[in-house]
Each structure stands twice: as C-alpha cells, then as structure tokens.
C-alpha cells in the first residue's frame, strides 16, 4: 500500500490479484496480477473490451468469488482468505450491488424488493419496510413504493435496484453496466443519482462500463486489457 495514504483513507486495495480458471486441459488466466487502491469516497470507472477481465474483477471485488492468489482488503480485512459464510457477511454489510439486469422479484412490490437485504440481515419486517421507504426517497421513488416491477419503467426499476443496494448502508457500491439496458436520457438520470450519492453521501462507487461518456463522469478510470491494468488515470 502507498505509505503516503493513511490506513483510514483506504476503502479497499488489491495486491497482485490473480484468477485462473481450469477448463478441461485449458488454463485461462482471467486476471494476471491486479493491484490498485481505492480511497474513501472515490468514484471509479472500470473499462475494457470483452474478455479484458472486467466481470471477473467485479466478482472478486464483490466477494462473489475468491482469487486464485493475491490479497484483497476491505476496510483493513483480507477478504481473500475468508470462507463462504464470512464472504456472505461482508457482502451483506459492506457491499451494494447494481447490475445491468435489475433482478427484482416479480411477485414483490418496490418497497418489499428494497427491504430484502434488511430481512437477510435479520431485521424485523416493520423496521425493514420503514427503512426501505426512506431509501426509496433517496432515489425519488417513494410514490411508487406499492408498485410491482411490471408497473415500472426500466429507469424506475433500476432506481428500485439502487435503493435495494443502498439499504444496508454499504461502504462500497459496485455497479456493473448499470445503464446498459436504458436509453440515453434514462441512463443519464441514473448517472445523476450515482453522482449525487458520491457527492452528498461520500459513497465509494466502482462502476463497470463500456461507454466512454459514462466512464468520463467518474473521478478515475481504470482500463483493463487481457487481465492486466493497461492504464489508471484521474479525470
């Protein structure tokens, strides 16, 4: 870790992170030694062509998978050495996920979709639904709390997904192509939410995108090529 940065200023960092998949007789090196730091409150875009390692890196950062070798620290804890139960706890407490597909449950309305992570964290249903409503207000969708996914536009569904990602007050927000299924105007509205969260709540955001105009709205762009960092530039 850079000695010029205090431990408290670092939200996460990776050190020589590698991921290798064995498929029959084939050995695929998806990540070949990724090292970078993310400070508290940074807004980072990760770019790269198909096959560059973006999805693999996001799975590791989100504790959905473990590296073949290397270290990955979140708030000073090395999650690379954790077991599945410990990783699940980290995901629930520290990480909020937003995907290109909204992954809302069709038989639950907006408020109940948002409340799910609270229920997984063993919160009382009344408390979970109350916080879900407050979180929907952050994305300006409290007036659609009782609507089901089929009654919402694509942009509204993504806002529900953002609220669901925020409800447990994560220290890190991971967004994988969050505007990919949206038109330009709706995508810009979603990016406005991310910028507001980053500016007003100091949320640390890591966003994967293949769109240069989306990446340009971050503070910093990390470009991957063939499982390595090709460039890491502040905007």
Q: Which residues contact 29 (CB under 8 A, 6 or more apart)?
A: 18, 19, 20, 227
Third-level CATH fold of 39-67+81-234: Rossmann fold (3.40.50)
Cα distances (angstroms) measured from residue 178 to each of 126, 159, 214: 30, 10, 10
Whole-number pLDDT of residue 3: 41
The half-sphere exposure of 19 on its side-chain side, counting CA atoms within 13 A, is 24
How do residues 102-128 score in pLDDT, each as one tens digit?
899 999 999 999 999 999 888 999 999
pLDDT at 4: 39
- Residue ranges in the chain modelled with pLDDT below 70: 1-8
pTM: 0.90
What is the model's pLDDT at position 172?
96
Domain ranges across the chain: 39-67+81-234
Per-residue CA distances from 38 to 83, 135, 137 (Å): 23, 25, 28
Evaluate the CA torsion angle 95, 39, 33, 3 in order and state its sign.
negative
Amino acid 106: pLDDT: 96
Helix H segments across the chain? 54-61, 84-94, 110-120, 125-138, 154-166, 184-200, 212-215
């Amino acid at each position: 870790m850079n000695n010029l940065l205090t431990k408290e200023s670092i939200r996460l960092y990776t050190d020589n992170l590698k991921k290798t998949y064995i498929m029959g007789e084939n050995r695929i090196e998806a990540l070949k030694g990724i090292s970078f730091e993310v400070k508290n409150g940074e807004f980072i875009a990760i770019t790269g062509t198909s096959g560059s390692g973006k999805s693999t890196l996001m799975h590791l950062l989100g504790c959905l998978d473990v590296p073949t070798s290397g270290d990955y620290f979140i708030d000073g804890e090395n999650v690379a050495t954790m077991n599945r139960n410990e990783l699940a706890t980290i995901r629930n407490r520290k990480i909020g996920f937003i995907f290109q597909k909204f992954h809302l449950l069709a038989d639950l309305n907006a408020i109940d979709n948002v409340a799910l992570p609270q229920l997984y964290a063993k919160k009382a249903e009344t408390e979970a639904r109350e916080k879900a409503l407050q979180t929907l207000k952050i994305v300006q969708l409290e007036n659609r709390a009782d609507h089901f996914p089929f009654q919402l536009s694509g942009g509204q569904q993504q806002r529900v997904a953002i609220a669901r990602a925020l409800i447990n007050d994560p220290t890190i927000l991971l967004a994988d192509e969050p505007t990919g299924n949206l038109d330009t105007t709706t995508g810009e509205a979603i990016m406005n939410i991310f910028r507001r969260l980053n500016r007003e709540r100091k949320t640390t955001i890591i966003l994967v995108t293949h769109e240069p105009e989306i990446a340009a709205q971050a503070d910093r762009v990390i470009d991957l090529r063939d499982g390595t960092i090709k460039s890491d530039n502040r905007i």
